[in-house]
Amino acid sequence: MRPLSLGVALSIQLFSTQLGLLSANAYDIVKDYSGDTFFDGWHFYGSYDNLTSGDVDYVTRENATAKRLAYINSAGNAIMKVDNYTDTIYMEKRESVRIESKLWYGPGTLWIADIVHMPYGCSVWPALWTTGKNWPDDGEIDIIEGINLMQDNQVALHTTPGCMHIDPPPPNQRGVSRQLNCTIDAGCTVGETVPNSFGAGFNNAGGGVYATQFDSSGIWFWSRPNIPRSILEATSTSSITSLEDWGPATASYPSGAHCEIEKFFKAQKIIINITLCGIWAGNPEFYSPQCADQGPTGLCYNDNVVGFGTARKYDNAYYEFRYLRTYTNGQAVITDPDADDDTTSSSSTASTTSPTGSATRGTDTLPSGAPTSAASEVHSFAAKVWASVASVVGLTFAVL
C-alpha cells in the first residue's frame, strides 16, 4: 500500500512482440485465495502503522476474527475492514487490517484479483501492492492505490536507480504516464483513464478485476461489465491459457535495456491493507481540497479518526474480495519461508470452482478485524514523502 508502494516500447515491432507473448503465454494456477480458507494464506501484521505514519493499529488474526474486521461473508467473499463501530478517543488509533501473503512470487507469475468493493472515504488510504524482502533493492509494485475521494486508480513501480519508464509510452498502454523515473519518491506512475477504477465509482459499478503480469508486460483493470472471457470462465483449478482478449494494459512495463525486470525485481509478497490519514491521505496538500468540510479543524485525524460519532464515517472503508489467484508460467520461483524447507511451491489450493461471472455481495450487515509479520520491517511504503508528488500527479477527485 504505498504512495511508495511497472518500462517501455520504442517501436511497433516491440508492440507486436508483446502481443505475441500475450497470446503464447499459458499460466498454471499456483494458489487460489478464496472462500473459507482465504485468510489461511496470509500473515496479519499485528502492529501499529509504522510504515506510513497512518493513524491505525493493524490487528492480529485473532483480534481481526473476534472483532469481525476480517471474515467471510454470506456470499463467501473475504471482508477486510476498518473498525466502524468504536468511537476512538484522542491520541489513540483506529483498528484496521493489513495482510501479507505467506508465499513469495518471482518473475514469471501472474496475479488476478476479483474485488467487489474497495475502501474509500475521507482519510481512507487503501492499497493492493507487493514488495521484495529487501526494499528498495528488490523492488515494489503498486497495483491499487488511492486516497480520500479519488476517482481514478494510480499504479507504480519503485526500484533502485537505473529503471525508467520510457517516453512515449508503449502502444499497448492506455493509461497516462505521470512519472518516468522509478527511483523517485512517487515511482514511475501511470494513471488509469477508464472510469470506475477506484473508490465509489468502482463499487457502484459492481467492482472489477485487477491483473498483474510480473515479468514483462504490466497491470490491467476491467470494470465488472468488461471483464474478459478468459477470466470470466476461469475457475480456481484451471489455467489461464491466453491473454489475447485482455486488450491494452493500464500500465505497460516491458523488460528491456531501460529497465530489466529481473534485475530490479526479486520475489514479491502480496500485501493488502487499509490505513488512515498518514503521510499521503493526511497531507493537507491532498486532504484539504477533498475533505476540508469533514469537521471543524480541517485536519484529517481530528475530524475523522477520533471523536464521538466518527466511527460511522468508515462504513465504506472495507474490501470485499471474491478471490485473489496466482499463476506461474512454469519458470517462476515461488517460495514459502514458513515451510520446513526451501522447496519451490507449484501446487494450487482450490477452494471453489465457480467462474467469476456476476459478483455476488453478501447480505449480512457489515459491523463496525497467526503469527504476525515483522512489525519493524522498513520498506518503501514507510519511507516516501508525498509532498513532492503534488505538482505532477494530477489526481482527480469526486465532489460530494
Active site residues: 140, 145
- Cβ neighbour number for residue 170 with a 10 Å cutoff: 24
Do residues 131 and 269 make contact, with C-beta atoms less than 8 angstroms apart? yes
Q: Which three cell numbers stand for residue 163?
A: 529503471
Do residues 120 and 67 make contact, with C-beta atoms less than 8 angstroms apart? no
Q: Which three cell numbers stand for residue 168?
A: 512515449
Distance of CA 67 to the CA centre of its chain: 23
The values of phi and psi at residue 171, to 5°, are -60, -25
Alpha-carbon distance of 348 to 354, in angstroms, equals 15
Give all strands (DSSP E) within 265-363, no chain letters. 268-276, 318-328, 334-335
What is the amino acid identity at position 290? Q
Given the DSSP bridges, would you call strands 109-117 and 208-214 parallel, antiparallel or unpaired?
A: antiparallel
Q: Which three cell numbers stand for residue 301?
A: 485525524
The values of phi and psi at residue 11, to 5°, are -160, 165
Do residues 243 and 23 make contact, with C-beta atoms less than 8 angstroms apart? yes
Q: Which three cell numbers stand for residue 237?
A: 483449478
Query: DSSP labels for 127-139?
Result: EEEEEESSTTTT-
The values of phi and psi at residue 216, to 5°, are -145, 10
Sorted by sequence, the CB contacts under 8 Å of residue 166 that are 6+ apart come out as: 7, 8, 9, 10, 180, 258
